[in-house]
Structures are given as C-alpha cells and as structure tokens.
Amino acid sequence: MDQITSKLETLISHYCSDFSRQLRELSETLDHALEAGNISSESASDVFGLVHRMAGAAHCMGYKDIGRAFDDFASRLKKADTMPQNELVMCLTSIRSEVRNMEDFSSNLNPARSKLLQRLNLSSFDEACDVGVTNSAEVSESLQRILAKERILIAEDDPHVREMVETCIKSMGCENVIVANSGSEVLSLLHAFQPSLIITDWHMEPLDGHELLQLIRGGKVSVDENTPVIFFTSEKEKAQQRFLSRSGANKVLTKPVLPNAIWTAVAQTVEKKYHIRKKLNAVA
C-alpha cells in the first residue's frame, strides 16, 4: 500500500503545481464573460461548470477550504439563468475579485497541507473492502481474481480526480481500465471496450453522467443495459442523490472520499453482480 500512498502524493503534488494555471483559466473565463457586456447564459454556464469542477477537485485532493470557496462560487451562480443582467455582472465581478485574491496563496499550496494525505491510513485489501463484503481469505482471493477480469470505464472531467480514481481502481488489481473526460467520450468508447462497470461524474459537458445513465438503462447504446454504474459526484443534496438512485445508479459516492470508500463501492458492486450472475446460471 506504500506504493499507492506514493502515487497519491505525486498526484497531489501535480495538482498543487497546476493550481495557479487553473486559477488563471478561471480568471480569463470570467474576464471573457464580463468583457462581452451582455453576459449570455452560455458564458455564465461556462463559469459555473469550471468552478463546480474545481470545487470537486479541491475537495478530492484534500483542500477543504479551497473546495468550500469554489462551492460558494458555484452556489452563487446556480440561479444565473434567472438573474437580471446587473445582478449577474455584480456576481461575476465579485467572484473575479475573490479569485484574484486566491492567487496570492496558490504558491504556498503543497501536499503537506492536504487533508487527504493527513488522513490516509491505507490498510490491506481485505480490510479496505470489509464493509458489506464477505471477507474470508478465500473469498478475498476470489474477489481479486474477479476484479482482474473486470473492464472498468471511468468518466470524469477533471484530470486530477480522473487520475486519482484510476490509481485507486488499478491498485485493486483491475487491469482493464480506460478513462474518458465526458459522457460523450464514453459513448465513443462503449462499443469497442464493452465495460463491465462504469464509474462516472455527474456534471460534465457536453453529455452529463445522468444523461449517459439514461441512455444505458434505456438500451440506447451498444452496452448491456444492466451494466453497473457508480456515480462519483460533488452533488451533496440527498434529494439529488436519491434521484440518481431512482434513475438506475447502483451506488452514489459523494466527493470527497478516501480511497477505501472507492474500493468498497467497487468491490460490493462487482461481488453483487457476480452472485446474481451465478444464481441465474444455476437456474438456467
């Protein structure tokens, strides 16, 4: 497990190094929206999408204060479509000012401040997956053999979060793992890859995770409509999480989580699918 810790430390270090660039991108997006004079709903949506993604990444990397700041920006922009122009201009101007203030401490961002690394206490595979998963040595070995055969597709629009989830999944012994940065990219990969499990973010452009789920459950794409789908999302409202479950999501994980939670969700989902398939084969 020391190898996983080392990989996560490297990943978080890359996030810290990239943070200044992300702030510049956000600042430029805000400049572009404000320079247009009449701010369009599309421009406001671009800003919302960016701050929402940055909030999720900050939380996942273990920087709670930064994540909360971006959460606040996203909350202010949720009703941008119905805001009068003068209010929208004031909102974006205020956010731009706060973003520029954030640039002052970005140079001090480092892995030692990450709450994720501070809390990380990775244990054995058996212990990591002992919540609701049969955990005898024999079954654990069996589960790892099953996981090695899984074909897992990860859809996440933030590159740092995408790499974190991929690292966690591969550490379980899953060898066939591919990644996508949007729901639309997933569609282009389904036919050739034929995933046995999909882990997806919700809010992505141009096709989001819920729209992807509807296509899968509706049999509209070239993959088994019962393919398990796990959501990994920044959406914290219980009503929204229940909405995903009612729509056919097998599990909903809320960012941020420790790697153990990702492992457990994948292990539980794969084991449940295996037992269902075993029962169906016995009946047949």
231-246 residue pLDDT tens:
998 888 889 989 999 9
178-190 residue pLDDT tens:
999 999 999 999 9
Extract long-range pairs of 173-177: CB within 8 Å, 24+ residues apart: 173/144, 173/147, 173/148, 174/147, 174/148, 174/150, 174/266, 175/148, 176/149, 176/150, 176/151, 176/152, 177/152, 177/153
Angle between helices 41-61 and 2-35 in degrees, nearest 10? 160
Q: Which percentage of the chain shows pLDDT scores above 90?
A: 62
25-36 residue pLDDT tens:
999 999 999 997
The band of 173, judged by pLDDT with boundaries at 50, 70 and 90, is confident
- pTM, 2 dp: 0.87
pLDDT, position 4:
79
Q: What is the per-residue burial (b if ≥16 Cβ within 10 Å, else e) of 241-252?
A: beebeeebbbbb
Residue 133 pLDDT greater than 50, yes or no: no
Residue 210 pLDDT greater than 50, yes or no: yes
- Please say whether the beta carbons of 81 and 46 come within 8 A: no
> Per-residue pLDDT averaged across 186-195, rounded?
96
Instruction: Work out the end-to-end distance of the chain between its first and last CA atoms, rounded to an integer number of angstroms.
Output: 41
Q: Which percentage of the chain shows pLDDT scores above 70?
A: 89
Nearest CA to 56 out of 233, 199, 182 is that of: 233
Q: How many CA atoms lie within 13 A of 55 on its CB side?
A: 21
d(CA 133, CA 43): 46
Extract long-range pairs of 26-29: CB within 8 Å, 24+ residues apart: 26/50, 26/51, 26/54, 26/99, 27/96, 27/99, 27/100, 27/103
Quote the distance between the C-alpha of residue 38 and its chain's center: 33
Record the tokens describing residue 70, joined without a space: 């971006």
pLDDT, position 137:
44
pLDDT, position 275:
67
Record the tokens describing residue 246, joined without a space: 């009612």
141-166 residue pLDDT tens:
777 888 889 999 999 999 999 999 99
- The residue with greater pLDDT, 39 or 14, is 14
Q: Using omega within 30 degrees of 0 as the cis cutoff, is the peptide bond preceding 256 cis?
A: yes
93-126 residue pLDDT tens:
999 999 999 987 787 899 999 999 888 754 444 4
Residue 132 pLDDT greater than 50, yes or no: no
